[in-house]
Structure 1
Amino acid sequence: MDYDAQMFFPPYDTQKYSSPICDEYLHYENPYTLKADDAPDNYFIFPEIMTINKMPMLKHSKKIMWWLSVDNFLEQNGVFGKDLLSEFINLYYDYHFVQSEYARRYCIDEMGIPEEKIFYISDYLNDSYISKAKDNTEKQKKDQVLYNPKKGIEFTKLLMNYAPDITWVSLIDMTYDEVRDTMQESKVYIDFGNHPGMDRLPREAAINGCCIITDRRGAAAFREDVPIPDKYKFDDNEDSVPAIIDAVRFLLQNYDSSKSGFNDYRVWINGARDRFYSDTEKVFGTIIQK
């Protein structure tokens, strides 16, 4: 878009790291700076976890807060209290970007941010990932259920104990490619626990042909963020366990006739890149004009 855009890195351990960029991101070849150039014509975009205590205090530049999550924001800044956070955010930040409808509603309802200062810019799965998923759509599926052990594990254990005959596969200690390959040969992916933003793993599982079951926490409560059939969203409490297991068994036994029920989700995921570019052009055009 012909903007002079750079990644700004705060101070880091130069003895431990030769570069502020991790190896996985080197291929983007993004220009970057280690100096915060605090000038009236500059815009700084901060992630929500750098709201107060991890960011330089700028006096002249315009500041934008990008809400990539809600839950992580609260975890990092909750000690300051909601009223103080709301006051600081409304005074300090000029604009807000949101990655999810969950974040947009939180900004308006809980932080008191005016709607005209909030803009939607989300993210998308990279093209190579989607193309590789499409190349393996005919891979033979196994009767197994995937789960992320890093969140909601206590509730997932209730499900596993209730139905030990089902094959449960943990997505742990795997490379990026191994996770994708495991998704391509599995029928169901469950995601219980918090959904701090529009999470990546459910989207990757869906693109790789999995049927998706989630709870109703965080972003998962909003169809705008997780647009799967409502019958596959559950409250994550003990009373719901039998119904969840019934849904899991149904999808395992009727995968071929059920997978099309998630096609709208997959189409939506495939269109995310175009929406990202369109939203970015619209947002920066609006902000710069102001």
Structure 2
Amino acid sequence: MTKFKLCTSFLIAFIIVGCGQNPFTGKSTLALVPNSQILPMSFEQYNQVLEESKVIKEGEQAQMIQRVGLKVANASERWLAENGYPEYTDNYKWEFNLIDDEQVNAWAMPGGKIAFYTGILPIAENEAGVAAIMGHEVAHALANHGQQRMSAGQIQQAVGAVGTIALGDDQQSQQIFATAYGLGSQVGVMLPFSRKHETEADEIGIKLMAIAGYDPDEAAKLWMRMKENSGGGGPPQFMSTHPSNDSRIQNLKNLAEDAKKEAAKFGVTSFQN
């Protein structure tokens, strides 16, 4: 067996073995890096960010972030238990922190570590707006999107290495391949992969916010405000890690009624703005 065929066979086996499952979609997911490795790294990095940031511990806004975060996390655990995954978050350590920073941003790390920046709160506008953001970030953590991105990055590197091996010792061809492959895999694979995660987090998150008792109609309104705040600009969707504002708004509008129906299964029929 040639070196190229051996590497290709190993790569295929590596991918097949390294798969998990998303409980919300039922689809197989990339899981080449195990949670036993990811979660300790995530918790350490999250704590480092908090140490280097101005974390707001007291006051109405900090209390709201904690309150909304716990309600959405509890909603997710109710959904998981009801759908046959009662132990899914056993290794999670939910944590919700508000950071004093003008960035219009919020993010999640594997294992339930969520951060909000004060800069996004005026756009959230109300508690339901915060819940829409929180649902999205909690969904990222639950769907193991961080694990999938790390796994996809490993595959991207491995395929590049296999392609280089196939070209032998021709350095010029290797350089041309590396440039073309780097751009092509980024635009054609990694960016769509990231946009898929964002859409998936929207779809999961809007259900979680509704089960938590927040009006899912507020999710589309939030993104209308996000679009207005950005001036409606941004790169073309195919060059972005996120869906366009317009497609996101329309998608959330379409999902709102299904989210209310999902919440009704848990006895939630009235919603907070």
TM-score, normalised on structure 2? 0.25
Normalised by the length of structure 1, the TM-score is: 0.24
Structure with more relative contact order (C-alpha pairs < 8 Å, separation 6 or more)? 2
Q: Which has the higher strand share?
A: 1
Higher helix share: 2
